[in-house]
């Protein structure tokens, strides 16, 4: 804009022979203003940083952790790093770092929708249990997995790999879970499979004062928590390991459920482990996470303000790497 005004004034001087002052007067521009414009220079970008910008050490920690955990979403990564004391950053901050480094897992995701679940929400562990039977093909034969999932915590209370799915086998499994947990008065949500509505199975439930809730026919979404869990077993356990014997199925599924219950963060329960909701105190974990984020924010703020101060007085010219991480 300034260069255009200068060029126009010079052009008028050349054509008319009039003085610069007379031309500026006709244009309504003061001489002082005009010369101030001519002497204006773009402010030098000295590299000041936003006070809450993640530190270099935090960015490097996020990048290194993400490269070692391919296929994990940025939200789950942020909470895993928070719990493991890698970096205390919010999901949005982690997203921006990964996006800048092109490390976001944007493609190839399998999105599974559970649909509308059972309408009454559980408010504590062992209030609602969900069960379902999943078919597993091993070479030229079939085996079956039955699991009991706690609806509040998503914790797998019990599971079994079976060679048959008769009413007697399913009833014996249910009795084993009841005897081991010694829990009564639970609502059990299941579909209308013949094994789950058999007389033997209902007798087992009656003995433990368990109320059976059968979902609507041809509507598996009503038991969406079990459907979702079965999908995770296929996607994260069976497909990667491809077991070829029933013994291998028992081994890899057992290992996966151990990981699922005690280490895997679950998006439906605020990115915590199912065991934290089933046997722990999730409110304490939320409070601890908030404290870590607050401490990291204060340290980040102090470090970036100190850098800006040093830059302003000319003691540094580039972004320094603090010796400490945010935790």
Neighbours of 13 (CB within 10 A): 14
90 or 2, higher pLDDT = 90
Cα 19 off chain centre by: 69
Residue 19 clears pLDDT 60, i.e. is over it = yes
- Which segments of the chain belong to CATH 3.30.420.10? 128-271
pLDDT at residue number 46 = 58
Nearest to 148 by CA among 126, 170, 130: 130
**Is 128-271 CATH 3.40.190.150?**
no
Backbone φ and ψ of 78, nearest 5°: -65, -40
Determine what percent of the chain is predicted with pLDDT higher than 70: 88
pTM equals 0.73
**265-274, 278-287, 310-319, range with the lowest pLDDT:** 310-319
Band of pLDDT at residue 114, cut at 50, 70 and 90: very low
What helix, strand, coil percent values describe the chain, rounded to 5? Answer: 50, 10, 40
What does the CA dihedral 286, 289, 294, 295 come to, rounded to 10 degrees? Answer: 140
- Please identify which residue in the block is written with the tokens 């009413």: 167
pLDDT at residue number 20 = 85
- 152 DSSP 8-state letter: T
Cα 262 off chain centre by: 17
């Amino acid at each position: 804009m300034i260069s255009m005004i200068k060029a126009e004034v010079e052009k008028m001087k050349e054509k008319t022979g009039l003085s610069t002052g007379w031309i500026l007067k006709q244009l309504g521009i003061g001489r002082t203003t005009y010369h101030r414009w001519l002497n204006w220079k773009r402010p030098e970008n000295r590299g000041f940083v936003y006070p809450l910008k993640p530190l270099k050490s935090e960015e490097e920690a996020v990048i290194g952790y993400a490269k070692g955990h391919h296929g994990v979403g940025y939200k789950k990564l942020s909470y895993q790093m928070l719990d493991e004391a890698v970096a205390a950053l919010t999901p949005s901050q982690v997203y921006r770092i990964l996006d800048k480094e092109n490390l976001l897992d944007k493609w190839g995701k399998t999105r599974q929708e559970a649909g509308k679940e059972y309408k009454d929400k559980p408010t504590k562990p062992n209030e609602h249990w969900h069960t379902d039977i999943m078919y597993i093909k091993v070479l030229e034969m079939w085996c079956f997995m039955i699991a009991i999932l706690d609806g509040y915590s998503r914790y797998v209370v019990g599971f079994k790999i079976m060679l048959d799915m008769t009413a007697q086998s399913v009833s014996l499994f249910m009795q084993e879970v009841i005897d081991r947990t010694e829990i009564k008065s639970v609502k059990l949500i299941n579909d209308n499979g013949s094994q789950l509505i058999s007389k033997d199975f209902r007798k087992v439930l009656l003995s433990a004062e368990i109320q059976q809730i059968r979902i609507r026919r041809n509507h598996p979404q009503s038991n969406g928590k079990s459907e979702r869990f079965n999908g995770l077993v296929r996607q994260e356990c069976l497909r990667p390991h491809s077991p070829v014997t029933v013994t291998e199925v028992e081994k890899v599924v057992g290992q996966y459920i151990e990981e699922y219950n005690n280490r895997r963060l679950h998006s439906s329960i605020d990115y915590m482990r199912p065991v934290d909701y089933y046997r722990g105190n999730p409110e304490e974990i939320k409070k601890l996470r908030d404290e870590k984020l607050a401490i990291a924010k204060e340290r980040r703020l102090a470090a970036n303000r100190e850098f800006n101060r040093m830059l302003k007085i000319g003691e540094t010219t580039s972004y320094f790497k603090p010796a400490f991480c945010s935790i």
